Amino acid sequence: MVNVETFRAALAELAAGVNIVTTRLSDERRGITATAVCSVCAEPATILACTNRSTGTFKMIRDSGKFAVNILNDAHQSVAETFAGRGGLQGNDRFDAALWHKGAVLELPVLIGATALECEVSEIVNSGTHAVIFGRVVGAEVQGITPLVYHAGGFRGLTSAYSRAAG
C-alpha cells in the first residue's frame, strides 16, 4: 500500500477544477471548496461531490437532501480560499466573502459569476473519512466561465496557462 506522503505528492500533480459546494437548511448556509466533483451521467443528469463527513457542510447536505456545485471562474480565487478555511471564517460567515443569490429551483446559495448546478441528493456512499454524494441535477446556470483550477498546491486560472503555452 502507498504511504500518505507519496499519495499526496501524486495527487498534487492532478489538475482539478475548483468548486464551492453549498447547501442551505432554513436560514443557515454552509459551503466548502472542493475539487472532487465530476459528472456521472447525462440521463438522468447526475454529478457527484466528495466531502469530509465531519464538516457541517456534509451534515447539512445529508439533512437537507440538496446541494449546489458552484464552478468557479479564475477571478474567484479569494472566495475559494475562504471556503477552504483560510482566514478562519466558519459556517454562514464564509458567505460574506462574495456576492450570492438564491438558485432558481432549490433556492440554494449560488455565487454570482459562477456556473452552478442545483442538485437533489440521490445517494450517499461513505468511504473512509469522506462521503461521495450523488446529486440529480434539477437546475443549472451556465456562465461561460474560464475555470479556476488547483494544481501542485496552488490555484491557477486556465487563461494564464494558455497564454504561456501560446507564447
Give pLDDT tens digits along the chain (167 positions): 999 999 989 988 998 999 999 999 999 999 999 999 999 999 999 999 999 999 999 999 999 999 999 999 999 999 999 999 998 999 999 999 999 999 999 999 999 999 999 999 999 999 999 999 999 999 999 999 999 999 888 888 876 544 445 44
> pLDDT of 35-44, one tens digit each?
999 999 999 9
> pLDDT of 121-157, one tens digit each?
999 999 999 999 999 999 999 999 999 999 888 888 8
Identity of the amino acid at 6: T
Global pTM value: 0.91
